[in-house]
Structure formats: structure tokens, C-alpha cells
Amino acid sequence: MREVAVIGAGMTRFGKYLDKSMKALVREAVDKALTGAGVARQRIEAAVVGNAMAGLITGQECVRGQVVLREMGFGGIPIINTENACASSATAFHVGWLYVASGMYDVVLAVGMEKLYHQDKKRSFAAIGSAIDVELMQQIVAKANADAASKKASSENEKPSGAGESRSLFMDFYAQFARDHMKKYGTTREQFARIAVKNHRNGSLNPYAQYQEVYTLEDILNSPLVADPLTRLMCSPIGDGAAAVILCAGSIANQFTQKPVWVRTSLLASGRDEGHTTELVAKQAYDKAGIGPEDLDVIELHDASAPAELLLYEELGLCKPGEGGKLIDEGVTELTGRHPVNPSGGLIARGHPVGATGVAQICEIFWQLRGEAGKRQVANAKVGLTENAGGMVRGEFGALAIHIFSV
């Protein structure tokens, strides 16, 4: 396998763009990546485009990547579409990396894109909620309804949960994970909330972030309850946006830049019934890259909720099981800490246009390792990791991508 470098990155600010098309968002991100890399459009030999929800939100299926890239004048090259829940564009990057590493192509474009906002919010949340085993979920719902009926609950006193209607169904999963961690290890709501404080503060320094406000611990704890112990400011929002990166063979990287970012490893996996998938894939990634978690200078991970970030501290080996709360209390994951996590603001503040998230994480690591992250720059960052997961099947992520980069 050949060495692969990332030589350019570009993205839109994530946000609410009811008046912008997917084509316009992708054009902005791709143009920025091409310009930053100094790569002419004609040098792109293949493109891989990640998107998760367009079929359910806009009705566009089958040729999503071809539709947006043809608008920009890309034609004749292979254009591959990857749909893999929240890991759709991390998967696109993985396929692009394989193309270059295998020697098939020298210069490849990887894109992530999503438009989740819709006039009918139920449509957005229903789309996100489809990233599960639907048949199994129907059985779970039927059992829950039967249990409720057996308790003879008064319909006048019952309140609808709102899952899948006014919030993502996944927040209920994360809330349960959080409650389990609290019960087993004594983790507190305040520790989860401090993660949200950190990520919102980081997002305030990121011009691409959907939300750029700073919040206190009290603000986080007192925001509306979503699913105990999660409050609204502990959860990632829906959003629209696009991100793009250019990969090339290491042997020609110096034709474009004197600051290539090297792909040390790129892994893609799915969950397994035995559990512990993230820990196993992380160990494989460290082994392939020849490093350990202690060598990571900067990390972008899948904080769909604040508890999700804390659990990932442990699963990625940043600390022992049960010590995630201690890590945040000691400031280890702050911008100035030993292992800065989500300097972009993460999903919580940068936003989470599902299909764009994986490549957006890679954009952030690219800028961090090149010293181009502005006010949120991590000092002396040389090695970075992205972790992006999507979907849920029997309590484990359906898709998981881990990439390690270095300069």
C-alpha cells in the first residue's frame, strides 16, 4: 500500500440553510478544498461522496454525488456514493484512501454533504431515526405499548415521549448509556455538562461552527430537559452543510504543498453482538499507526451527546473504564489539556449534518496539524485522530470509522 496524504480541505459553516441547495453547499466546500490544495479540477481522478438522508428529506436517491458534482463540471470520472448513517462521509474518505493507497488513482476527492432542515421537523427526526434495525424497534415499541396498557396508565396523565417527533430517537439511547454509567461509576450530570461547556466554548472560536455561543455550567444544566440526564445543550443539533478533502499519493504530494498531512491509518468497521467494537478498532488503529493513545495530540470524536464523548474517552483508551468523569474534571480534554478533544466544538457546537460530519472532522484535524486552526489552535499538534460512528444495531453502532493522521 502506498503512502497517502491529505493536501486540501474545505467546508461550509454548518447551519440552517432552507434557501440553499445541496449543490450550492457542496460547491462552496469543494471549491475551498481545491483552492487550498492548489489542485485543478481536471486533476481529480475519482470522487467519493457521503450522504445519509437526502432520499428521505428531499427524495433524491441513487445518484446523489453525480447530481451535485456534475453541477460543478465533474464528469467522466468514477463517482461513488456512500451511505453509512452518521459515518457516511468517513466511509467516503476511507474508500478514497483505498483508491489512492492501492495505486488505482493518484488524486481523489472525498465529500460529505447533508441537508437535514425541513419545514416539517418530524420528517427530519424520522429520517435520523431510520438508522436502526426498524423491525427490531417495532417489536420494542409494541412491547412498551403492551407494558403501558398492562399498567392501566391513564391516557390523560401520560405525556408523549417526543422521540422521533421533537427529538432524535438516538438521544434516548444516549440517555440510557449515561444513566448506566452514572449508576456503575458514580459519574455526575455536572461532569457531562462540563463536556458541553467545553465544546460550546471551542465552537465559539470556530467560524465554521453552527453555534458559537459560550455557556456556563448552570446554563447547560438548566436548559430544557431532553431525556434525563440530557439537556438540550448537551445534545448535537440537526443541521445542513458540506465538507471536502483532497487526497493524493504521497509520492506527488510535494507537487501541491510543503505541508502534507499523512494518513497513518484508516479503518472502517461495523458493530458486533459481543460489544466493545470501538475499543477493538481503536487498538487496531493504534497498532497500524505504530502509536498509542498517549501519543494523540488532538482528537475529533463523535459527541452526538455529552455522555457519548465521555464514554469515548474510555473506549479510545484515553483513560480506564469509569474514569471519563475524572478526565473532564482535570481539564485533560480542554484545548490546553494533554489530549484536547473536539477543538472544533464537536457535533454539539460545530453541528451534525449527518452525512457531512466525518469529513468535517478530518478538515479540523488537517487544519490543526498544519497550524491553521486560528483561535482554537492546539499547540504543537503533530498526531490527530478522528472517530465517527453511525446507526445503531442491537445496542452497538452500525458503522464505525477511525482515522489517524500525522505531520
Per-residue pLDDT of 146-155, as tens digits, reads 665 665 544 4
pLDDT at res. 149: 64
Give the whole-angstrom CA distance, residue 46 versus residue 23: 18
Residue 20, domain extent: 4-120+240-263
User: How many domains is the chain built from?
Assistant: 2
pLDDT at res. 396: 86
pLDDT digits (tens, 9 = 90+) for 86-131: 999 999 999 999 999 999 999 999 999 999 998 777 777 777 778 8
Q: How far is CA 304 from CA 178, 307, 322, 382, in A?
A: 12, 8, 20, 26
Let me know: does 76 contact 13? Beta carbons within 8 Å: no
Element containing residue 67 per DSSP (H, E):
helix 64-70
Residues 223 and 309 in one domain: yes
Residues 218 and 244 in one domain: no
Using pLDDT thresholds of 50, 70 and 90, give the confidence band for residue 157: very low
| Listed range (1-5, 51-55, 373-377) with the worst mean pLDDT | 51-55
Per the DSSP assignment, residues forming a β-bridge with 151 are: none
Strand, helix or coil for residue 298? strand
pLDDT digits (tens, 9 = 90+) for 320-372: 999 999 999 999 999 999 999 999 999 999 999 999 999 999 999 999 999 99
| Listed range (53-57, 89-93, 248-252, 293-297) with the worst mean pLDDT | 53-57
Q: Is 349 within a domain?
A: yes
Residue 143, pLDDT above cutoff 80: no
Q: Is 126 within a domain?
A: no
Residues 31 and 173 in one domain: no
- The pLDDT mean for the chain works out to 92
Using pLDDT thresholds of 50, 70 and 90, give the confidence band for residue 171: confident
Q: How far is CA 6 from CA 52, 260, 264, 407, in A?
A: 24, 6, 11, 10
**pTM of this structure:** 0.92
pLDDT at res. 154: 43
Residue 170, pLDDT above cutoff 90: no
Cis peptide before 307 (omega within 30 of 0): no
pLDDT at res. 359: 98
The answer for residues whose C-beta is within 8 angstroms of residue 331's C-beta and 6 or more apart is 337
Let me know: does 219 contact 190? Beta carbons within 8 Å: no
Q: Is 127 within a domain?
A: no
Residues 72 and 175 in one domain: no
pLDDT at res. 210: 98
Residues 211 and 345 in one domain: yes
pLDDT at res. 394: 85
Residues 245 and 219 in one domain: no
CATH number for position 175:
3.40.47.10
Residues 136 and 87 in one domain: no
Q: Which amino acid, residue 322?
A: G
Residues 244 and 291 in one domain: no
DSSP class of 318? S
Residues 392 and 315 in one domain: yes
Residues 319 and 199 in one domain: yes
pLDDT at res. 324: 97
pLDDT at res. 148: 55
The answer for residues whose C-beta is within 8 angstroms of residue 239's C-beta and 6 or more apart is 14, 15, 16, 114, 116, 117, 210, 351, 352, 353
| CA-wise closest residue to 61 among 71, 69, 51, 70 | 51
Q: Is 161 within a domain?
A: no
List the catalytic residues. 86, 352
Angle at 400 between CA 133 and CA 36, to 5 degrees: 130
Residues 359 and 383 in one domain: yes
